[in-house]
Amino acid sequence: MVLSSVLGFPRIGANREVKKAVEAYWAGKLSVEELSKVAADVKKASWTSLQARNVDLIPSGDFSLYDHVLDHSAAFNVIPKRYTGLGLSALDVYFAMGRGRQADGVDVPACEMKKWFDSNYHYVVPELSEQTEFKLLYNKAVQEYNEAKAIGITTRPVILGPVSYLVLGKAAKEASPNFQPISLLSKILPIYKQLLEELKTAGVDSVQVDEPILVLDKAASLDKEYATAYAELSSVAPRIMLTTYFSRLDSNINFIAKLPIAGLHIDLCRAPNQLDDVLTAIKPKNIVLSLGVVSGRNIWKCDFNTAIKQGQKAINALGGDRVIVATSSSLLHTPVTLASEKKLTHQQKDWFSFALEKATEVATLAAILSGSQDPKIAAALEKNTASIAKRREFEHTSDDAVRKRVASITDDMYHRKNKFATRMDLQAKHLKLPRFPTTTIGSFPQTNEIRTARAKFGKKDISEAEYEDFIKKEIETVVRFQEKVGLDLLVHGEAERNDMVQYFGEQLNGFVFTQNAWVQSYGSRYVRPPIIVSDVSRSAPMTVRWSSYAQSLTEKPMKGMLTGPVTILNWSFPREDVSRKLQSQQLALALRDEVIDLEAAGISAIQVDEPAIREGLPLRRSDWDEYLQWAVDTFKLATAGVSDVTQTHSHFCYSDFDDIFPSIQRLDADVISIEFSKSDMKLLHTFQQYGYSNQIGPGVYDIHSPRVPSEEEITKRLDTTRAIIPAHLMFVNPDCGLKTRGWKETEASLANLVAAARKARESA
């Protein structure tokens, strides 16, 4: 019999209960007991609904109040010293590590967060060193297993495996210079053994051990570590289902197949072609194969017939008892249920599956593959076949004009007319910016008034005219402030934008929006990614009226502000019937028109933000070139339509350029602004070493904190920067947009920034 399984479930609750409760706890409005009660109820609801949907292997231990990697660190005593001895409860230490704490005389910043593989989920990075003393402070997997058991539901606990846990960590400050976290493997294994032994004692039959790093190139050199770890663990653990997701195993399957594991899970949504190799490798072993055929990363309805073919192939090779049908990864990256969507059309609803609907999908597929004679199952297959056929039909009704336009893109559309050096002279004459020109990244504080006005307009409590007036006033405030403080290249402040992707998605054809499809980004922060459902095009200018209004208020040059094609794509749920490249090209053409319209409206500097270019990198390095080729090309397609006097800008919120440097140069933006205030000089040396030739604004202060940088501090930053980057190429700007900041610190910080730039000018 083929079993069904779900690898993990969203933690937010159908009505965002957990998010709200956690935030209320932080605000001191909810007690620990009340918070635990909300969490327990949400867990119960998830387990119950998965059981009601006939899922055989239901996860437990995957719930989290903040982040599952942080849960492991807290349980393993991987708690940096700065969080202990503050008189905080264990729960408050946990939250302090996740989000920092500034109250009652305690002031500690948060631990570093990193993107979870290629998703938009962030995990809290474990800090490890030779001094780390692993201890099992509590066993969350056992606790949740028992919680579920108490309501009569047998679950399969989920833990993050030891090799992935260590590799995802980083060397703590006190570690010796060449310290590698993986060197702690022999120290952490006894803790894992204890954890797994306790699970076995609690009656657990099989445990899901996530080892997602097995899909990365670097896992190839960890074969010995894997062999050691799993030999030790399997001797005491319940049956181990080793799970991998988000990409393919490639040659790593050779050593994985030799591990003493009961099962292996592979992602067949991201990497369907790996099935044959994996089947060949595990066939002679006694390993169960869990097929990740229902996507944990996207919201499209599963195509049953494709999944059945894959399942059948696995059954033919291994027999039905050695096959499980599963979600490709945890459903953490999908919203809870389609049932909460009241505004989608019938047709649209029929295209999608959210977490609960996906649970039904795995259960139905398992029943089909087990040869179920239940007429309900036959009906479900028929219904799915019809839905998919309808979707395919819809996909064929492509927008011919858009498709033709993409097909007729010519090479010259990717290039500016002249080389950068020529453009720089022309732009200098046109924009008349001083040396060390000052500017910002785009957004200004999104105050409560702005959010309230937007909400009122959304509910039609105020008219469009009233809302427009309100936004215009906000723009005027921002412009007047920038003039007063003495910035050189102004922005309009982005008050009209709810979000840098949603704002554009809402105005472009081809997108659909949800009301409740929240997906965790980090901690209690959730986003609602738009869904690309068909060919993308622009019916009318999107930002021109705001930018030209802002320009009409001032003699100083105004910078137009757009989100780039790769970022819009990466922060949306993409289509799966056409390539990411085609979707990005369509977005680029729409943005190209916007860029050209802005120029025609008298905007002479235009910024196209691409903060997500880096996170879109495929997990396997051999796939990078292809991605970077189209990603950079589509940025160029979006921006290269303007004349040489118009200055193009781009912005990146990270400082990790080493391995993608040639692509940053190839963007050929006239000016880039990058995160820099928290980075060391190595970053600038990279730019210098490669001979980066265009203008660059390394951020002079961190906008993630309300702290005001002093003029001296900024001057110091500028001095070290100009020792490496030629002064005539430098811009002076903060690290990122100011939307999360208050006005008070914004005013003070920018005044200091301008003063420091002026000083630099005098000494140039």
Contact footprint for ligand GLN (CB under 6 A): 441-443, 494, 500, 561, 609, 611, 651, 653, 736-737, 739
The helix-helix angle for 304-318 and 355-369 (nearest 10°) equals 50
Question: Of 308 and 441, which has the nearer Cβ to Zn ion?
Answer: 441
Q: What amino acid occupies position 126?
A: P
Question: Of 318 and 608, which has the nearer Cβ to Zn ion?
Answer: 608
**Could you say which of Zn ion, ligand GLN, none residue 423 binds, taking C-beta under 5 to 8 angstroms by partner kind?**
none
Question: Of 161 and 611, which has the nearer Cβ to ligand GLN?
Answer: 611
Question: Least distance in Å: CB of 83 to Zn ion?
Answer: 28
Closest by Cα among 484, 488, 473 to 550: 473
**Could you say which of ligand GLN, Zn ion, none residue 739 binds, taking C-beta under 5 to 8 angstroms by partner kind?**
ligand GLN
Q: Is 120 helix (H, G, I), strand (E, B) or coil?
A: coil
Question: Of 162 and 505, which has the nearer Cβ to ligand GLN?
Answer: 505
Q: From the annotation, which residues make up the binding site for L-homocysteine?
A: 441-443, 609
**Could you say which of Zn ion, ligand GLN, none residue 562 binds, taking C-beta under 5 to 8 angstroms by partner kind?**
none
- In the chain, count H helices and then E strands: 27, 23
Closest by Cα among 235, 225, 242, 275 to 158: 242
Give the residue closest to ligand GLN by C-beta.
Answer: 737
Which DSSP letter does residue 181 get? Answer: G
Catalytic: 704?
Answer: yes
Q: Where are the alpha helices (DSSP H) in 601-739?
A: 624-639, 661-667, 682-689, 711-722
The helix-helix angle for 68-75 and 90-99 (nearest 10°) equals 130
Tokens linked to 743: 């006005």
Q: From the annotation, which residues make up the binding site for 5-methyltetrahydropteroyltri-L-glutamate?
A: 19, 120, 571
Do residues 230 and 196 lie in contact, with contact meaning Cβ atoms separated by under 8 Å? no
Question: Least distance in Å: CB of 535 to ligand GLN?
Answer: 26
Question: Least distance in Å: CB of 357 to Zn ion?
Answer: 35
Do residues 61 and 39 lie in contact, with contact meaning Cβ atoms separated by under 8 Å? no
Question: Of 65 and 591, which has the nearer Cβ to ligand GLN?
Answer: 591
Question: Least distance in Å: CB of 615 to Zn ion?
Answer: 12
Q: Is 578 helix (H, G, I), strand (E, B) or coil?
A: coil
Range 599-658, binding Zn ion (CB under 5 A): 611, 653
Q: From the annotation, which residues make up the binding site for Zn(2+)?
A: 651, 653, 675, 736
Question: Least distance in Å: CB of 234 to Zn ion?
Answer: 45
Element at 208 (helix H, strand E): strand 206-210
Sole window of 260-268, 566-574, 586-594, 729-737 interacting with Zn ion (rule: CB under 5 A): 729-737
**Could you say which of ligand GLN, Zn ion, none residue 500 binds, taking C-beta under 5 to 8 angstroms by partner kind?**
ligand GLN
Element at 380 (helix H, strand E): helix 375-396
Question: Of 478 and 653, which has the nearer Cβ to ligand GLN?
Answer: 653
Question: Least distance in Å: CB of 494 to ligand GLN?
Answer: 6
**Could you say which of Zn ion, ligand GLN, none residue 529 binds, taking C-beta under 5 to 8 angstroms by partner kind?**
none
Long-range CB pairs of 467-471, under 8 A, 24+ apart, other chains included: 471/495, 471/496, 471/546
**Could you say which of ligand GLN, Zn ion, none residue 609 binds, taking C-beta under 5 to 8 angstroms by partner kind?**
ligand GLN
Which DSSP letter does residue 122 get? Answer: E
Q: Which of 289, 471, 736, 750 binds Zn ion (CB under 5 A)?
A: 736
Which one from 265, 685, 704, 728 is the annotated catalytic residue? 704
**Could you say which of ligand GLN, Zn ion, none residue 633 binds, taking C-beta under 5 to 8 angstroms by partner kind?**
none
Sole window of 125-133, 445-453, 733-741, 756-764 interacting with Zn ion (rule: CB under 5 A): 733-741
Residues in the chain: 764
Element at 376 (helix H, strand E): helix 375-396
208-244 as b/e: b if 16+ CB within 10 A: bbbbbbbbbeebeebbebbeebbebbbebbbebbbbb
Closest by Cα among 568, 643, 630, 597 to 409: 630
Question: Of 671 and 736, which has the nearer Cβ to Zn ion?
Answer: 736
Question: Least distance in Å: CB of 736 to Zn ion?
Answer: 3
Q: From the annotation, which residues make up the binding site for L-methionine?
A: 441-443, 494, 609
Encode 82-96 in three state secondary structure: HHCCCCCCHHHHHHH
Q: Which residues bind Zn ion (CB under 5 A)?
A: 611, 653, 736
- Which residues belong to the active site? 704
